[in-house]
Structure 1
Amino acid sequence: MKLRFLGKNSTPGDSPTLYASDQDSYVVQGWKIYARDLLARLEVPDGHTVVEVPTELFEHLVKDGVSTGKIKNFSAPIVLVTEEGTCVVQGPRMRDAEALSQMRMPDYETCVEVPKSSIVALMEGPTWT
C-alpha cells in the first residue's frame, strides 16, 4: 500500500497524521487510548483498534479533493467525541508493512485504515452541535 501524506496536527511530542492510500482509503494515525473509563465505553471488534485525534486533523481532507474538512456528522468510523473535543476513530489496525514503513510513529501512537467513503460521508448532512 502506498500512502500520500495529507497533513498533521503537531505539537511537541504529538503527531496525529492523515494519509490517503492507493486503496481508496484513509489512514488515520493518532494517540493510543489507555484510559480504562474511555475504553469501557467502546466496543472494539477483533482486528480493529481505536485512535484519538483532534477534529482539526480532518481539515487536511481538502488536499485530497474533499470540498470541506469540517465534520458535520459524527458517526462511524468516529465512535466517540471526547469531553476535550477530540475524535475517537475506529477501524482495522494497520498491518501493511509497506504502509507502516512510510510512517514515523512514536510508541504511544497507532493507526487505523478506514474507507474514504466513510470519512467523506462525515462531511455531509446537517451540522453536528
Structure 2
Amino acid sequence: MLESLRLLGRNGSPSGACPALYEAGPDVFLIVGWLTDTVATVEIPHGLLGFAEHDRFIGAPLTDTGRGTFILKGEPVTDQETIAVLALEGNETAVVVPRCKRTYFGAAA
C-alpha cells in the first residue's frame, strides 16, 4: 500500500499535520484520524472531506458528532511500514475505506 499513497490534504490540528486524507489506490482512501473508543473507527473534521476529488467520495457511512467532526469506520491499517511513514501520534490511527466514483443522476432544473 505504501507505494501507492498520495496525500490529498490535511485538516484539523493546530500544526496542520493531521488528520489526513490519502489516495491509496484506484478504489481506496487511507484516512488518518483521531482515535475513538471503538476499534477501526476514527474521528475526522468536516473539512477533510473537501480534499477528495470532485468526482470521488468516501464510501463509508459518516456519523456527524455535532461538533464539526464525523465518525467513520474502516479497515484498520496494520502494515508497519505504512504506519511508520504516517508517523501517527498517540491519539491517532489510520483506516482504509472505499474510494467511490460519484454517479450523477441529472441536474436540478
TM-score (norm 2): 0.75
Do the aligned residues in 1 keep the contact of 2:23 with 2:29 (CA within 8 Å)? yes
Give 2:45's aligned residue.
54
Give the 3-state SS of the residue equivalent to 2:74 in structure 1. strand
Whole-angstrom CA distance in 2 between matches of 1:113 and 1:90: 9
2:50 and 2:77 map into 1 onto residues whose CA distance is 22
What is the rounded CA distance, in whole Å, between the counterparts of 1:84 and 1:115 in structure 2? Answer: 25
Q: 1:107 to 1:23 in 2, by over 3 A?
A: farther
Structure 2 match to 1:5? 7
Relative to 1, partners in 2 of residues 1:13 and 1:58: Cα closer, same or farther, differing over 3 Å?
closer
On the 8 A contact 2:75/2:97 being kept in 1, the answer is yes
Structure with the higher fraction of residues in helix conformation: 1
Q: What SS is found at the alignment partner of 2:83?
A: helix
User: Displacement of 1:56 after TM fit?
Assistant: 0.6
Aligned to 1:15: 18
The alpha carbon displacement at 1:98 in A equals: 3.1
The count of aligned residue pairs is 102
Where do residues 11-50 of structure 1 align in structure 2 (5 Å cutoff)?
Answer: 11-12=14-15, 15-22=18-25, 24-34=27-37, 49-50=40-41
- Scaled by the length of structure 1, the TM-score of the pair is 0.65
Q: Deviations over 1:31-64 (max 9, x none)?
A: 0014xxxx5xxxxxxxx61000001101111xxx
CA RMSD of aligned residues (A): 2.9
Task: Give the unaligned 5+ runs of structure 1.
Answer: 40-47
What is the SS of the residue equivalent to 2:86? coil
**Percent identical:** 28
| Contact in 1 for aligned 2:42/2:94 (Cα 8 Å) | yes
Contact 1:31–1:110 under 8 Å retained in 2: yes
Deviation at 1:24, TM superposition (A): 2.6
**Amino acid corresponding to residue 77 of structure 2 in structure 1:** M
